[in-house]
Amino acid sequence: MALADELRRLEEQLTELLLEVQAMRRNAERLEKQSGELVKKASEEMIADAGYDALAKLYADGYHICVNYFAKRRLEDEDCIFCRMFLQERLEKAQHAS
């Protein structure tokens, strides 16, 4: 009987261990999914930031970035209210995100 009791105890320990491993696997899967979502979001933000930086440079180089006059040359030292509004909105969004 001692051998049977010992085997039953080992079986119970294995069952508990299996439950712990399954819980760890589920947690690892959840973390992997969350990590993938964070990487995707970070990549999208980097792309968006690069696009914004390109538009800001285009404006600084003297071109419109607004819908009305996109890529048309601005007059020397002329500011466009629509372009400036776009730049300001983007700046405010970036400040709120920080």
Give pLDDT tens digits for 16-58. 999 999 999 999 999 999 999 988 888 888 888 888 889 999 9
Has residue 12 got a pLDDT over 80?
A: yes
Q: Chain-wide mean pLDDT for the chain? A: 89
Q: How many domains does the chain have?
A: 1
CA distance 12 to 78: 80
pLDDT score for 98: 61
By residue range, what is the domain housing residue 69? 2-97
pLDDT score for 13: 97
Which candidate, 63, 52, 57, places its Cα nearest to that of 97? 52
pTM of the model: 0.56
